[in-house]
Amino acid sequence: MKRLMLMLALGSGLQTAAAQTTIEFWHSFGDAKRGDWIKARADEYNKAHPGVTVVPSYKGAYNDSLQATILAARQNKAPALVQIFEVGSQLALDSGMFQPVSSVKGVDFGDYIKPVINYYTINGKVNSLPFNSSSPVLYYNKDLMTKAGLSAATPPTTFGGVLRACAKIKVALPDTKCMSLALYGWFVEQWMSEQNALLFNNSNGRAGRATATTLNGAAGKKIFQFFKDLQDKGYLTNTGKLADTDGTNAIFSNQRAVFTINSTADLGNQIAAAKTAGFQLGVSVLPIPDGTARNGVVIGGASLWIPKNLSKPQAEAALDFALYMTNTKNMADWHKLTGYYPVRNTSITALRGQGWFTSSPLQITAFNQLLATKSNPASAGALNGVAIQTRTLMEQGLQKVTGGQGVDAVLSDTANQINAALTDYNKNFK
Amino acid sequence: MSLISRRPRPPAAAAEPQERATFKSPVLPWLFLLPTFIILAVFLYYPAVRTLRLSLYRANIILGNETFEGLGQFAELLSSPVYHQVILQTLIYCALVVMLGLLLAMGLAWLASRPIAGAKFYRLMLIYPYALSPAIAGTIWLFLFNPEIGVINNVLSSLIGVRPRWLDNPLLAFGLVVLAAIWKGLGYNVVFYLAAIQNIPGEVSEAAAIDGATGWQAYWKVIFPLLSPMTFFLVFTNLIYALFDSFGLVDILTRGGPVYGQTGITTFLIYQLYEDGFRNFKTGVAAAEAVLMLIMVGVITVMQFRYGNRRVHYGA
């Protein structure tokens, strides 16, 4: 009943304006769990709004769907709503094919969790509506920790803590690796934010176009050194393929490693896998460099964009559906299903009211980590046109370091490569 | 060898009068060719011309901008140490995949064509990898060679106590991709070789046997030369396979890594093109790479027809 009221309330203002409007919604969730959830929300919405037909469709991975949208937009066949990943934000902005959601119609964004809405607020305008948002956490195998003589109640929260735990694990469990950690650029972005360090100049590309990376500094060095320490002491494992978190998950789920770091969006799968394998799963905050005040995480995931050149009713209906899909109740459901953050403060209140955090205590860690995040350019995340390439370059840098090369030389090389890519991209605007 | 060249292929020029005789009007053959030409023009020639044009422009598909650069992007690519390494490792990869793949396929096809029990089953099993999509093949290999939980390392570790790092040791990763590509292409090659072997008249092997040739000799001195037309064809198709179809396997299995020297050691030309064009959206550079690849394939084809053809024996 409550849901119906909400739907009516949301829909009433648009019912007349959006007569017979079709909303194509392109997303990147090819799996049944998340794809079906979106489909179900669209069906509900369509039933409540006879004048609007929302048609969600899976358009391939983030990269492919971004490209498809741009090409469609050039032929005036753009979908009315598109899910675009966070590292594609600057590209989407530079394409000039989208309009800020805040200019479609007046929306109160006050309910959105601050660090989430900050990422998508560019030049003072909310460009896209937050949807699936996540950050990395430490997953740990409680049984193996106990076996190694560690307290499962106090997992390590710093790099030093991880290394000390690993030292004990190596002695107690010689056949088990300590840390299953993918060489993944996203983690580097997170650790820069945690140290309140920028990844790019010009306030992470938010005060002006980024022209150089600031990876090659004390903060970046600590991150790369952590990977090197883990590797040199024989604590680290992964599949060897860059950014292969599926691989590190599998190693962790098969109890070949005590710790892994991965997205909160993976929580649902991790819980299921631990149950199958028969071990107690723990979730804790992302460990950070020692002696650092925890600045918080950068939001990862994707947001919903509305192209330009739509008719007014179409743009409004698209935003209206997006707001419906991300309303208080739906975001709470979405969180329970997947582990992604509900992007609204009221969703968290609702979840707390339902006793969700007492019945699923593992989920609370992720929230506290996000809610404690301080709002500043570092935690707002880096905006630049080569964010995708930057990740790959950082991953290759991590691989060089774990392959035995020195941290300083690799960092400086990696920074040069990123700068070259950035200079090349910025040439597009001369 | 003269024994087996019973039906020499007529040279191309000799066939011409006969063809003229078939078509009375000169328009008719063109008319028949028209549908093919239309399809080629729309799906091949037009995009190729567009690519050629695009290669001269700095372009980003997301931004939709185009700035004329002339041959600048080619110059940049051809002077880039990263691209040099990519070309070199692509050539080594292609040579290994084509040579080892064809030798293995030829041998297996020969064995599977012998009158032995279960030959049909072996044939079926040999062809099977070809039915898998590169993505699935890549995923299977990724599971098998996971250093911690993969079947291969579990077996190796219990037998000889080692757990090789298949995907981040450059040499192992390169070898693994070569092996996977050979395995993936095996079915295709075996099918063609089986067909070719079955077309070899039985008398030939019989004659060899009567003359006292051992199985090994019969294979190398009789069968191998008789298969050369098929080999000629397969060298070309396999080369194209290695150059262009390596993408799916590489993307799933190694993502172009592990990094060695300037770049990932399994970043081959087609993967570099994908990275530049479709991950980093540098459309102009990707077009230039496509043109370079086209030139490469052209050169290889001409060379193959000029020098490779001499060794081909159109006997059977």
pLDDT band for position B203 (cuts 50, 70, 90): confident
SS3 (DSSP) at B105 = helix
pLDDT at A268 over 90: no
How many alpha carbons fall within 13 Å on the CB side of residue A387?
23
Q: What is the pLDDT of residues A298-350, one digit of tens each?
A: 988 999 999 998 999 999 999 999 999 999 999 999 999 988 988 999 999 99
Contacts of B257 in chain A (CB under 8 A): 240-242, 396, 399
My answer on whether omega of the bond before A377 falls inside 30° of 0, hence cis, is no
Please name every residue paired with B57 in a beta bridge, in sequence order, or none if there are none.
B68
Instruction: From residue B67, give the alpha-carbon distance in Å to each of A93, A101, A158, B59, B283.
Output: 20, 31, 49, 7, 12
Assigned token pair, A166: 């690993």
> What local confidence, expressed as pLDDT, does residue B306 receive?
84
Q: What is the mean pLDDT of chain A?
A: 92
Instruction: From residue A160, give the alpha-carbon distance in Å to each of A146, A166, A188.
Output: 19, 10, 17
* CATH number of the structural domain spanning residue A90: 3.40.190.10
SS3 (DSSP) at A178 = strand
Helices (H) and strands (E) in chain A, counts: 20, 13
Name which of A99-108, A206-215, A245-254, A361-370 the model is least confident about: A361-370
Judge if A421 and A337 occupy the same domain: no
Judge if A13 and A120 occupy the same domain: yes
Greatest mean pLDDT among A347-361, B15-29, B97-111 lies in B97-111
Kindly state the DSSP code that residue B25 receives in the 8-state scheme.
Answer: S
Contacts of A176 in chain B (CB under 8 A): none
Output the CATH code of domain B80-311: 1.10.3720.10
Its ipTM equals 0.87
Judge if A197 and A177 occupy the same domain: yes
> Which of B63, B167, B281 shows the shortest C-beta gap to A240?
B167
My answer on whether omega of the bond before A136 falls inside 30° of 0, hence cis, is no
Please name every residue paired with B264 in a beta bridge, in sequence order, or none if there are none.
B259
> What local confidence, expressed as pLDDT, does residue A161 receive?
97
Identify the residue among A89, A230, A231, A242 best suited for mutation to test binding to B, counting B beta carbons within 10 A and taking the highest. Answer: A242
Region B44-71 average pLDDT: 94
For chains A and B, count residue pairs whose Cβ atoms are closer than 8 Å.
Answer: 94
Distance CA A348, CA A113 (A): 10
Q: Do B275 and A392 touch (CB under 8 A)?
A: yes
> What local confidence, expressed as pLDDT, does residue A19 receive?
54
Domain that holds residue A128: 2-134+300-371
Region A106-113 average pLDDT: 90
> What local confidence, expressed as pLDDT, does residue A296 receive?
94
Judge if A352 and A250 occupy the same domain: no
Q: Which amino acid is at B82?
A: V
Please name every residue paired with B60 in a beta bridge, in sequence order, or none if there are none.
B65
Q: Of the residues A326, A348, A371, which one is the last residue of a structural domain?
A: A371
* Residue A380 falls inside a structural domain: no
Angle between helix B170-199 and B246-253 (nearest 10) = 150
Q: What is the mean pLDDT of chain B?
A: 87
Judge if A154 and A124 occupy the same domain: no
pLDDT band for position B213 (cuts 50, 70, 90): confident
Q: Which amino acid is at A237?
A: T
* Residue A424 falls inside a structural domain: yes
Judge if A170 and A204 occupy the same domain: yes
Assigned token pair, A404: 């035995």
* Residue A378 falls inside a structural domain: no
Distance CA A186, CA A188 (A): 5
Judge if A269 and A345 occupy the same domain: no
Is residue B130 packed enough to be buried (19+ CB in 10 Å), middle (13-18) or exposed (0-12)? Answer: middle
Strands of chain B, DSSP E: 57-60, 65-68, 259-260, 263-264
Q: pTM here?
A: 0.88
Q: Do B63 and A94 touch (CB under 8 A)?
A: yes
> What local confidence, expressed as pLDDT, does residue B21 receive?
63
> What local confidence, expressed as pLDDT, does residue A171 receive?
96
Distance of CA A69 to the CA centre of its chain: 21
Judge if A243 and A285 occupy the same domain: yes
Identify the residue among B151, B281, B283 best suited for mutation to test binding to A, counting A beta carbons within 10 A and taking the highest. Answer: B281
Distance CA A116, CA A94 (A): 21
Angle at A330 between CA A329 and CA A332, to 5 degrees: 65
Nearby residues of A214 by Cβ (< 8 Å), 6 or more positions away: A197, A198, A199, A200, A201, A220
Distance CA B50, CA B55 (A): 9
Distance CA A289, CA A187 (A): 13
Judge if A39 and A126 occupy the same domain: yes
Judge if A292 and A305 occupy the same domain: no
Name which of A270-274, A378-382, B228-232, B307-311 the model is least confident about: B307-311
Judge if A270 and A196 occupy the same domain: yes
How many alpha carbons fall within 13 Å on the CB side of residue A104?
33
Judge if A305 and A324 occupy the same domain: yes
Q: How many domains does chain A have?
A: 2
Assigned token pair, B63: 């931004």
Q: What is the pLDDT of residues A7-24, one digit of tens each?
A: 444 444 444 444 579 999
> What local confidence, expressed as pLDDT, does residue B18 receive?
52
Q: Do A250 and B146 touch (CB under 8 A)?
A: yes
Identify the residue among A181, A209, A393, A428 best suited for mutation to test binding to B, counting B beta carbons within 10 A and taking the highest. Answer: A428
Distance CA B29, CA B23 (A): 7
